[in-house]
Amino acid sequence: MRKLIFLILAVCVLAMAVTAQKLPKPTLLSAPLSAEETKILNAGIVHHDAKRYDDAIAQYDKILAGNADATIALYEKALSQYAKGDREKAMETAYVGAKYKSDELAMFYSIMANCLDDVGKSDDALKIYREAESMFKGDIGMARHLASVYYNIGVTLVRQKKYAEARAELKKSVETNFSYASPHYLLSVVYQGTKYKIPSFVAAARFLTLEYNSQRAKTAASILTDVLKPAGKDPKTGSINIFLDLNAPTDEGDFGMYDLLLGTLTTFKDEKDKNKTENQIFVDAVGTVIGLLSEDKKLKSTFIGKEYVPFLTQLKKNGHLESFGYMVLYISGKEDAMKWLDANNVKFGAFLEWAKAYQPAK
């Protein structure tokens, strides 16, 4: 108990020190690692992954003894200190790292904020991110870091169950860096949990075009397939039951018409579709949703209409619908979808390259 109290007090003291002064402006230049230093870093990461945190920290200190500006070593050291439970030292190391312009900059802020969040000081964690936001805003060269800051604010707000506020920050992250996968993922999860069907669908769709081989991808694929799951049937009459949620939120757009249609897209078959497989019908359903969104003029002024609809419209226009649809099916557990992906590997590869390179029109 004494140890816990001391730890919390130590972190609180450091929290006051950090929040009492502004975050350091990143003005120093990061130094690259030599080949030998890279080997030492990799050895440290092996120790970290094996939970030998003291050994990992010792490796990173070897690098920093001769190359104090190696921000990657500072970051890995702070990460190991944090994983070890030494939040005070992790914050100290991250604070030093935050003085440098580097690829790790946003992650230093994240470590500092996480240390505070872990001991219930979420408001102080948010202050760190807000300071970082004010530093990065208006600096085009810092857009990637700014997007990460917005995402981390969103994560903190989700932990506090402030979902509307979290959505606002995650949307800023998407608008700042459309190629950053994480905000799309968390936005899709938040949308789904707060009854925004179509918004969850489009956010999950963009995420999957950026990250498709992870546990998060499986979750995103399940969001997509859940939105398009067939409408339920009455066990007695066999008739299809379609329900409209009159309490569904409309502040991201009015999708009532879509809700009525979604359950039918993978249920009804026209005469021309009678020989199509379930997979083909699913791909067609995705295409139908994209087509409807593309033609919905009421969405043009909304976040969904500005960010996601143009991307999905271009995806379909460029002939990538099948690649996307079969990828979603495979990720969601439909093993037979791999047959199409294997038979069309060149086409599928072109789709992934296009999705990775896509940038919204300004």
Q: Where are the beta strands (DSSP E) in 33-146?
A: 100-101
Specify whether 185 is located in the same domain as 291.
Answer: yes
Range of the domain at 308: 179-362
For residue 68, the tally of other CB atoms under 10 A from its CB is 13
Specify whether 159 is located in the same domain as 202.
Answer: no
- Sorted by sequence, the CB contacts under 8 Å of residue 136 that are 6+ apart come out as 142, 143, 145, 146, 149
Specify whether 190 is located in the same domain as 141.
Answer: no
**Which amino acid would we find at residue 187?**
L
Residue 118: predicted pLDDT: 86
Specify whether 171 is located in the same domain as 198.
Answer: no
Can you give the CATH number for the domain in which 171 is found? 1.25.40.10
Query: Which of 146, 177, 208 delimits the end of a domain?
Result: 177
For residue 107, the tally of other CB atoms under 10 A from its CB is 20
Q: Say how far apart CA 263 and CA 240 lie, in whole Å.
A: 9
Residue 71 phi/psi, 5° resolution? -65, -30
Residue 69 phi/psi, 5° resolution? -95, 10
Residue 100, helix vs strand vs coil: strand
Specify whether 228 is located in the same domain as 169.
Answer: no
Residue 7: predicted pLDDT: 47
Query: Which of 129, 152, 177 delimits the end of a domain?
Result: 177
Residue 6: predicted pLDDT: 42
Q: How many domains does the chain have?
A: 2
Supply the angle between the helices 215-227 and 197-210 in degrees, to the nearest 10: 140
Whether the CB-CB separation of 221 and 208 falls below 8 Å is answered with: yes
Specify whether 137 is located in the same domain as 281.
Answer: no
Residue 238: predicted pLDDT: 55
**Which amino acid would we find at residue 143?**
A
Specify whether 41 is located in the same domain as 92.
Answer: yes
Specify whether 129 is located in the same domain as 158.
Answer: yes
Q: Say how far apart CA 324 and CA 308 lie, in whole Å.
A: 15
Residue 360 phi/psi, 5° resolution? -65, 150
Q: Say how far apart CA 119 and CA 190 lie, in whole Å.
A: 24
Specify whether 41 is located in the same domain as 136.
Answer: yes
Q: Say how far apart CA 211 and CA 199 lie, in whole Å.
A: 18
Specify whether 283 is located in the same domain as 145.
Answer: no
Which residues of the chain are modeled with pLDDT < 50?
1-9, 11, 13, 17, 19-20
Whether the CB-CB separation of 186 and 154 falls below 8 Å is answered with: yes
Specify whether 53 is located in the same domain as 144.
Answer: yes
Query: Which of 137, 157, 177 delimits the end of a domain?
Result: 177
Specify whether 125 is located in the same domain as 66.
Answer: yes
Residue pLDDT, tens place only, 243-272: 666 678 899 998 888 877 777 777 766 667
